Amino acid sequence: MYIDLHGGALVFGGGEASREGARIAASRCGIECYGIDYRMPPEFPYPAALDDCMCVYRHAVDTYGADRIVIGGRSAGGNLALATVLRAKDEGLKLPSAIVLLSPEIDLTESGDSFQTNKTIDVNLPNSLMSANLLYANGADLCHRYISPLFGQFFKEFPPTFIQSGTRDLLLSNAVRLHRALRRVGAVTELHVFEAMPHGGFGGTPEDEELAREVARFVNGALSQ
């Protein structure tokens, strides 16, 4: 089964949007999918969203077994997907079979090179999300691995991870840096960077069909092991 986490800078994008995202993921991969309508600021800042993701992940592990689970997210959902796996490891839970991160927002400090080079170049996300990042963190350290999971501790047995971005994505550096961090420890990972694609890659671009095929191949391959 697939756990799908919606995007929206960690502050919007829930409700029916999360249901639709899960429907698309289920259709793309041909498997059962949970879409998490996690709590968000201003009423529910960090760690509410991550707590919600952990509740669903624990339920899924108890119901399906970790080896039958893939967790994935788009943009901010990629943040929560990766943070959920890091926290699951810290709590001694079994880890999912694989992770899918589409244009992931995994560094809320915005320290990567592309936050400068692709500023105003990205037609979907032209400028910083720092105001939303600070609202979400609610005073917590932006460098903490549960808030910026790019800075987590990775290891060779980390779940196989599919990472996608585009050459015009404001968050491109996030994808590149995570891919290198996983490669350095010998973990299995794929990085797919699409020419001229802005932030997104999950609706509204000519490459959507190609990306959907790649994700389905990766997910179904992970679950067939």
Residue 52, domain CATH: 3.40.50.1820
Model's pTM, two decimal places? 0.97
The 10 Å Cβ neighbour count of residue 67 is: 13
- pLDDT reported for residue 206: 80
| Domain of residue 123, residue span | 2-223
The chain-wide mean pLDDT, for the chain, equals 96
Q: State the average pLDDT over residues 13-31.
A: 91
3-class SS of residue 211: helix
Start-to-end Cα distance in the chain: 14
Lowest mean pLDDT segment, chosen from 14-23, 105-114, 154-163, 188-197: 14-23
List of residues 6+ apart from 173 with CB closer than 8 A = 107, 112, 113, 114, 115
Contact indicator for 163, 189 with CB cutoff of 8 Å: yes
Residue type, 117: T
Residue type, 91: E
Q: State the average pLDDT over residues 165-177.
A: 98
Residue closest to 199 by CA, chosen among 5, 41, 3, 7: 7
- pLDDT reported for residue 15: 93
pLDDT band at 201 (very low <50, low <70, confident <90, very high): low
Residue closest to 79 by CA, chosen among 150, 25, 177, 172: 150
Residue closest to 100 by CA, chosen among 9, 203, 214, 210: 214
Strand order in the sheet with 33-36: 33-36, 2-5, 70-74, 98-102, 161-166, 189-194
- pLDDT reported for residue 202: 63
Specify the number of domains making up the chain: 1
Q: State the average pLDDT over residues 59-77.
A: 98
Maximum alpha-carbon separation in the chain: 45
Percent of the residues in the chain that have a pLDDT greater than 70, as a whole number:
99
Distances (CA, A) of 126 to 20, 116, 122: 25, 10, 5
